[in-house]
Chains A and B, each alone.
Chain A
Amino acid sequence: MSGAIKTDAADETREKTLDPETLSRLDEVLGEYRSKPGALIPVLQIAQGMIGYLPEVVLKRISVGLGKPYSEVAGVVGFYSFFTTMPRGTHLVRVCLGTACYVRGGKQVLDALKDELGIDVGETTPDGEFSLEVGRCFGACGLAPTIMIDDDVLQRVKPSRIRGILDVYRENDKGE
């Protein structure tokens, strides 16, 4: 399921390293929003803005802080695609599955990416380098299928070229 929180060891260490300062800033936000109706979505947005993603400890804190059931908090996070429960990798890879891209092989490109990265949509590679997401139209339908890596739009992507494309980013990171 795409919304499932992974609680493998790596994530737990990441969660424990959330610094106390961030947590106290989060508590301030919670204090401010506690009595406001409709607070859940704005608070989640602020928290994701602060931390980059929404780890379990943070979601539980929000649940208690706003007096909202944890199941509801999780339901809202899973419902909106802009919330993520996984830390983002260095590079965000987004595959367009709009009609044009889909018809012209977007799905195959996505499968190739999943294979190459060894992760599912919404996940991040264990080395923290790539996150994979599905996107809406990038405005380049004429040259479908397209993917976006960070701010680069790549067009007429073929599944067989995926490794080569990713290698460029891998090499660059090594060079830095």
Chain B
Amino acid sequence: MPKVTIDNRTVDIPEGTTILEAARLAGVSIPTLCYLEGVQTMGACRVCLVEIEGAKNLVASCVTPVSDGMKVNTKSRRVRNARRTVVELLLSDHEGDCRTCDRSGSCELQSLAEDLGIREIHHQGEKHAAVTDYTTPALVRDTGKCILCRRCVSVCNEIQGVGALFPQDRGFDTVVGPAFSKSLDEVVCVQCGQCSAVCPVGAISEKDEVQEVWGVLDDPEKFVVVQTAPAIRAALGECFGYPPGTLVTGKMVRALRLLGFDRVFDTEFAADLTIMEEGTELLVRLKKALVEKEEVALPQFTSCCPAWIKYVEHFHPELLANISSCKSPQQMFGAVTKTYFADQIGKRPEDITVVSIMPCTAKKYENKRPEMYDSSVQDVDIVLTTRELGRLIKESGIDFTLLDEDVMDDPLGRCSTGAADVFANTGGVMEAALRTAYEIVTGEPLPFDGLHIEPIAGLDGVKEAEVRITKTVPEWAFLKGKTLKVAVAHGLANAKRVIRKIQSGESRYHFVEVMACPGGCIGGGGQPRFTTNEIRKKRIDAIYKEDEKKTLRKSHENPEVIRLYEEFLGEPLGERSHHLLHTSYDARSRV
């Protein structure tokens, strides 16, 4: 093992380790900017420069491997000066104003400048022309703020396999953006917002709709209902300085009530409803295939992630029949609120405004899809990300840390199950579906410790599990002795891997869960920045804790969902469900 000395600390470091990684192992921190752990090391920004004893030039530590006997200095005067110059140059070409930027306080460039003590910018270079792109429903791009670190390029290409962004043109004219610097709506983009999640500065962000929400809250004529997705409660705290993984469900409800929402409901109610519909849909497909010997599309893929849906529409239209026809929980909630709940309180769909709080930028696109008007008006009116809710609360002057805990309202909020909680993370929708489907088929609970399907939990990109059905209730006798095979993928490039395995015949599955964002919605494009794997794990742990706390942990046990079927919907996949809770998809062009 090579011995390396970093800032006078000598450590043994495995061959092939970069200086940056070695420094971290040795407990020495080196500032970075373009580096993105596990995704990108390309030496583009030069912020991570260090000095190697005996070497003429400073080197970028993120791309330079260690060698035996190497002596590295990360803090010499020369390093500090060079680092400062690099950051000053970035700042001199950065067309941004911290006073009004939405990243102020969470901007990596700003905090570098602060850490390096930059008080003056000595280089006054030519600035790039700033173009702001407001064309998509979910995202805003501002090329003036872009520092060309290419993190978004790596994420969009490598993690999502979409490739909407790439450096265009050359030299000083280089712009990171869509082909030929077109606007984002002219190219294929799935609106997942992962680019905005990794951008170190304010060059890509969610389209801010906080003022729209103030507009409806301030209007006494409006009856405003809010729903919050499961992933919010495990991340919102980060906006107020709580450590990642702090559950803030009760305070969040209190804040929403103080903000003036007329009802505080839970997307989890709709998640339970989704399981009823989607689980039944799977069983019906299996029955058709095995008993009626009909041609049916298998495996069934989950449909709760709008970025995944858009991805399939563009890149794999041949699989559209395999996608569950269930709407996402957000959209089921909207349709049920503006019909069932509207009836209960004697209002018309157009009298109710539904606001969603989502970890997700793609949901801002989804709620505007033309299919999402089944209540007769737009089912979900405004979608805010977790980050925007954080800003809404701050703007109101509420001190989040001082809030008491509160509980959500009946009928679409008070009751939710643990199964709905785990919708937030990768593997969770599958687990929730199997908790219910297995019990319907066998009459017994899912045979996994704590109801958690261990092999599909965790952050591996593609996960698989098998569930053997040894006995059944009479109705599902045809499944006796069968083994249900499932797969889970997060990150669309991983989904692509699963699709390849299926299409090449290498693997056969019955049910596949896909979430576009790494880690699932807890790592969504609208979550507090910055999300690392460590933070993903903490948020997932928090979600499991929330799940385990619940008395009801299976969707079909939710009494309000049962009541909804009895009083309004009839049965899963029934006529009314079909109209309100299911949707259809369209093939789209690939470029």
Contact = CB atoms under 8 A, between A and B. Distances in A.
A3 B591 contact: no
Interface in B164-198: 164-170, 173, 175, 177-181, 187-188
B157 interface: yes
B144 to A, nearest CB: 14
A74 B168 contact: yes
A51 B458 CA distance: 51
A75 B168 CA distance: 4
B590 interface: yes
Contact of B168 (A3, A64, A68): A3
A85 B177 CA distance: 18
Interface string A1-40: 1111100000000000000000000000000000000000
A70 B186 CA distance: 11
A4 B167 CA distance: 13
Contacts of A73: 179
Contacts of A172: none
B591 A72 contact: no
A63 B168 contact: no
A52 to B, nearest CB: 19
A1 B176 CA distance: 13
Given A63-B591, A64-B591, A70 B169 contact: no
Interface string A135-164: 000000000000000000000000000000
Interface in B325-340: none
Contacts of B157: 69, 72
Contacts of A75: 166-168, 179
B178 A71 contact: yes
A54 to B, nearest CB: 11
Contact of B180 (A69, A78, A79): A78
A1 B179 contact: no
Contacts of A64: 590-591
A35 to B, nearest CB: 15
A26 B168 CA distance: 24
B168 A78 contact: yes
B197 to A, nearest CB: 19
Residue picked from A1, A64, A68, A85, most chain B C-beta under 10 Å: A1
A4 B175 CA distance: 12
Nearest to B177: A71
Contacts of B169: 1-3, 78-79
A60 interface: yes
Given A73-B179, A75-B168, A78-B168, A2 B591 contact: no
Interface in B221-254: none
A107 B180 CA distance: 26
Contact of B188 (A4, A5, A70): A70
Interface residues of A, number: 20
Contact of A1 (B162, B173, B590): B173
Interface string B248-288: 00000000000000000000000000000000000000000
Contacts of A79: 167, 169-170
B187 to A, nearest CB: 6
A10 B515 CA distance: 43
B159 to A, nearest CB: 13
Contacts of A68: 163
Contacts, number: 60
A3 B169 CA distance: 6
Interface residues of B, number: 21
Contacts of A71: 163-166, 168, 177-179, 187
* Max chain B Cβ within 10 angstroms of own Cβ: one of A4, A68, A71, A79: A71
Nearest to A69: B163
Given A64-B591, A70-B187, A4 B164 contact: no
Interface string B570-591: 0000000000000000000011
B168 A69 contact: no
A59 B182 CA distance: 14
Contact of B173 (A2, A60, A70): A2
Interface in A35-62: 59-60
Given A63-B591, A69-B157, A79-B170, A5 B164 contact: no
Interface in B129-186: 157, 162-170, 173, 175, 177-181
Contacts of B177: 71
Contacts of B162: 69
B263 to A, nearest CB: 43
B163 A72 contact: yes
Contacts of A3: 168-169, 173, 180-181
Nearest to B186: A7
B216 to A, nearest CB: 37
Contact of B170 (A4, A72, A78, A85): A78
Contacts of B163: 68-72
B180 A5 contact: yes
Contacts of B180: 3-5, 74, 78, 85
Nearest to A79: B170
A60 B179 CA distance: 10
A78 B173 CA distance: 10
Interface string B288-323: 000000000000000000000000000000000000
A5 B180 CA distance: 6
A104 to B, nearest CB: 23
B170 to A, nearest CB: 5
B253 to A, nearest CB: 42
Contacts of A4: 180-181
B188 A1 contact: no
List 9 A-B pairs, minimum CB-CB distance, nearest first: A69-B163, A74-B179, A71-B166, A75-B166, A70-B591, A60-B591, A78-B169, A71-B179, A70-B179
Given A71-B179, A74-B166, A74-B168, 19 more contacts: A1-B168, A1-B173, A2-B169, A3-B169, A3-B180, A4-B180, A59-B179, A60-B591, A68-B163, A69-B164, A70-B591, A71-B163, A71-B164, A71-B165, A72-B163, A78-B168, A78-B170, A79-B167, A79-B170
